[in-house]
Amino acid sequence: MDLLNIPYIKYNLENGLEVILHQSKSVPLVAVNLWYKVGSANEVKGKTGLAHLFEHMMFQGSENVAKEMHFRYIQEAGGTLNGSTSFDRTNYFEKLPANSLDLALWLESDRMGFLLNTLNEEKLINQKDVVFNERLERYDNQPYGLAWELIVKNLYPELHPYSWPTIGFPGDIKSYTLDDVKKFFQENYSPHNSTLVITGDFEMDAAKKSVEKYFGELSSKNNLPAAQIPVDFFLDANKFIKHSDHVQLERIYFAFPTCKIFSKDDSSLEIVSDILTGSKGSRLHKKLVIEDELAQDVTAFQFSGKFGGHFMIAATAKPGVQIDQIKKIILDEIEYITTKGITGKEMTRSKNSISSNFVFGMQNVENLADQLNFYNFYLGEPNSFNFDLNRYISADESSIRNVCEKYLLKPHMELIISPKTND
């Protein structure tokens, strides 16, 4: 039995809504996962954060569902729900007992088709305040909270769709008007711009009828113009940024321009991040945290999206440690991997870890639903589990050395966040 081969049915309603159904009777649960093909990358300068704000607005009630009742209906049925916004997409999801599938479909269809007339100034002001306070809590007043914003703002070219944070800039959040919000909904929240995934314990014919019942009569807006995909970019020289904040310890961040999601080098860069910091025995963790005791922590990851990507390394210095000591070890380790390669044991451990995470992530219906939507969005094929895993399995020492040389030995950005000094 191939655990990574997920059978599904995929079709479109007449209004353009894409539907993906995967039936599994293992547990009496269903997951409903709806992706709208709009994220912060679809915003423009001066109106950043609209996609994230609208995620909040979608829980403020529609014509047939009162404010906050979306949560109440799902929770009283024994389910869970939430939403999230990224650079590339916005999604909404529910997990419920199998006999409550129609409830989730009704709720999602009602706010897709009948939200616009309920948008008003009071709701907008309320959610602008909520988002602004969220920004204060998670970014401005959080230790190291501005790091991601400083990195994307200074790493990506000006006006690149990843050059602002998903939550938006403070001034932009305050500037939203009701017309901005209504226009955003009309342009993006439409059946033809979304994909609905249902996984779990349901009857296929009954689910199809329910999807048609709740979504079939919704109309789609005019097709949006195709987004202009930016070309890959590199830095001409290293960029250095220093930022003082209310932190106790100094932290250094490295950001290297890399590649888009599912491009040729994407998976090899993820393996590099795992070899550097993915476990207690990984190279940088062992060297910086355990042996030399220079850092409190160290982490690395490859971020990749539809319009670009970057490789990040971050390390927090222990009290009294000079950040340049940590910096040298990190850059030396990248140089060492590029010239000397990695061991077979390291490659095997990394591949085994990635493989086990694949299988583990498919054990619950909500993760599976989101992954089907993920693959469908980026690859056009929901059942891409084997394809995805094979990208990592086929990596070898040569591909690891190649991506280090191609991306991590090139000009990069460094951000140092230091404790504020008393004046």
Kindly give the pairing relationship between strand 194-200 and strand 18-23.
parallel
Q: What is the DSSP string of 233-263?
A: ---SS-EEEEEEES-SS-EEEEEEE---TTS
Evaluate the CA torsion angle 85, 90, 96, 100 in order and state its sign. positive
| Phi, psi angles (nearest 5°) of residue 296 | -70, -35
CATH of domain 9-215: 3.30.830.10
Tokens of 91: 């999604």
Please report how many Cα atoms fall inside a 13 Å half-sphere around the Cα of residue 154, on the Cβ side.
20
Q: Would the pTM count as exceeding 0.85?
A: yes
C-alpha pair distances (Å), 372 with each of 196, 198, 233, 262, 337: 10, 9, 30, 15, 34
C-alpha pair distances (Å), 179 with each of 78, 185, 333: 37, 10, 52
How far apart are the two ends of the chain, measured CA to CA in Å?
67
Tokens of 122: 């009071």
C-alpha pair distances (Å), 221 with each of 18, 43, 114, 189: 15, 18, 13, 9
Q: Of 323, 333, 335, whose CA–CA distance to 283 is shortest?
A: 333
C-alpha 109/C-alpha 62 separation (Å) is 10
C-alpha 227/C-alpha 234 separation (Å) is 21
Tokens of 225: 């113009």
- For the chain, residues classed under CATH 3.30.830.10 are 9-215, 239-419
Task: For the chain, 423 residues long, give each residue's pLDDT as a single digit of tens.
Answer: 477 899 999 999 999 999 999 999 999 999 999 999 999 999 988 999 999 999 999 999 999 999 889 999 999 999 999 999 999 999 999 999 999 999 999 999 999 999 999 999 999 999 999 999 999 999 999 999 999 999 999 999 998 999 999 999 999 999 999 999 999 999 999 999 999 999 999 999 999 999 999 999 999 876 665 566 777 889 999 999 999 999 999 999 999 999 999 999 999 999 999 999 999 999 999 999 999 999 999 999 999 999 999 999 999 999 999 999 999 999 999 999 999 999 999 999 999 999 898 888 888 999 999 999 999 999 999 999 999 999 999 999 999 999 999 999 999 999 999 999 865
Candidates 3.40.50.300, 3.30.830.10, 2.60.40.3880, 3.60.20.10; correct CATH number of 239-419?
A: 3.30.830.10
C-alpha pair distances (Å), 76 with each of 71, 80, 131, 201, 362: 8, 9, 26, 19, 26
| Burial of residue 137 (number of CB atoms within 10 Å: 0-12, 13-18, 19+) | exposed
